[in-house]
Amino acid sequence: MISTVHPRLRPIRDKVEAGERLSLDDGVLMYENDIPLHDLGALANIVRERWNGSFGYYNINTHLNPTNVCVYRCTFCAFRSDLRDPKGYVMSDEQILARAQEAVDNGCTEMHVVGGLHHQKGYDWYVNLVRIVHQAHPQLHLKAWTGVEINWFEFLTKKPVKEILQDLIDAGLGSMPGGGAEIFHPEVRDKICEHKSDARNWLHIHRTAHELGLKTNCTMLYGHIENAWHRIDHLNRLRELQDETGGFQTFIPLAFHPENTGLSHIQKPSALMDLRTMAISRLMLDNIPHIKAYWIMLGIGTAQAALAYGADDLDGTVRHELIYHDAGAVTPEILSVEDIRRLIEEAGRQPVERDTLYHRVERDPANPTQWSVGEPVGVA
């Protein structure tokens, strides 16, 4: 029982303590500046500990962005390139397989694959990438292609989403990352990424993935031109889909990084805004088991603090990240396992290595690159 909260938060405190759902108005209220951040942290921590006790999760993973050439021109993106821009690249099958080999040699359990929508690459190129990596390294989990990419494949093939996802599952897809959600509301979406998958399509793709038994993640890009109401509307759409399917594993709030983007005049959100959004996400998304503090994007200090503001997961050790580093992130490109475990312990949490589907990972101490999958994590 939390006895002292800001008077305007008392009804919300009572609902959180009773395990009742917060309304959209509650969500918008929590974004008001006079609502103390530490009160939100304490409330979010109740929900966090209900789901995940004092565990702080991480995984050992790598990123693969096979091309940055993209037909879309999302104003917030610093990663994309035109075909003839000197910055543009496309990886060969050999380079992709070398990355997968490097990942396995370093004990990675997951490869997170996303990239541009290259108009000279057909659907088969994207399916083949999954197939060749999976065939070479069946134990490496492929978390690949966002809802936006799947929507592009629909355009390329004119096939139903279900068939596309089934092709990818047959090729070795393990789950889908949460990117491409940005802000669902058309008042914002039409200004920052008008051409790509709209909210209805993004949600339909994730619903279909869940129906096929695929777990997926979800995200929200905040701190640009949206307001509090747009954010709460976004969280509510995710919460409603999760009520239907239960297929989301983790939500990742993504702080906008302005450098080298079409929105470079906007200030990066403050650490206070990051922690507020983390806490509000945990409180609103009462039905999603995990909230991730993606350290690459938040910075190490804020990510550590976020473990007391609703987050239970720091993502991974991460190799070869480009999307945030192109947009001005100053975080290192990789953390060692020792570092990430220490960060979690310093935050007063118990570090647990998980796989992509949130099972404990057991490692052979004599040969730590060898691993096996243990019990599901969590307490709820």
Enumerate binding residues for ligand V47 (CB under 6 A): 76-78, 177-180, 182, 217, 219, 221, 252, 254, 256-257, 261, 294, 315, 323, 327
CB of 138 to ligand V47, least distance (A): 21
CB of 242 to ligand V47, least distance (A): 15
- Coil, strand, or helix at residue 326? helix
Question: Is there a binding annotation on residue 218?
Answer: no
Q: What are the CB-based long-range contacts (under 8 Å, 24+) for 328-333?
A: 328/78, 328/257, 328/258, 328/259, 328/260, 328/268, 329/257, 329/296, 329/297, 330/299, 331/295, 331/296, 331/297, 331/299, 331/300
Residue nearest ligand V47, CB atom distance: 179
Residue 317 C-alpha from the chain's centroid: 14
CB of 332 to ligand V47, least distance (A): 16
Residue 55 vs residues 49, 311, 314, 352, 368: alpha-carbon distances, Å: 8, 10, 11, 7, 21
Closer residue to ligand V47 in complex, CB, 150/254: 254
How far apart (Å, rounded) are the C-alpha atoms in residues 144 and 129? 10
CB of 219 to ligand V47, least distance (A): 5
Question: Is there a binding annotation on residue 182?
Answer: yes
Backbone angles phi, psi at 165, to 5 degrees: -65, -35
Closer residue to ligand V47 in complex, CB, 179/310: 179
Question: Is there a binding annotation on residue 102?
Answer: no
Closer residue to ligand V47 in complex, CB, 9/78: 78
Question: Is there a binding annotation on residue 70?
Answer: yes
Closer residue to ligand V47 in complex, CB, 23/201: 201
CB of 290 to ligand V47, least distance (A): 10
Residue 159 C-alpha from the chain's centroid: 27
Return left, alpha or beta for 124; rule: phi > 0 is left, psi -120 to 50 is alpha, else beta.
alpha
Question: Is there a binding annotation on residue 193?
Answer: no
CB of 74 to ligand V47, least distance (A): 7
Cβ distance 186 to 154 under 8 Å? no
Closer residue to ligand V47 in complex, CB, 172/269: 269
Closer residue to ligand V47 in complex, CB, 16/242: 242
The count of C-alpha atoms lying within 13 angstroms of the C-alpha of 114, restricted to the half-sphere facing its C-beta, is 20
Known binding residues for [4Fe-4S] cluster? 70, 74, 77
Known binding residues for S-adenosyl-L-methionine? 76, 182
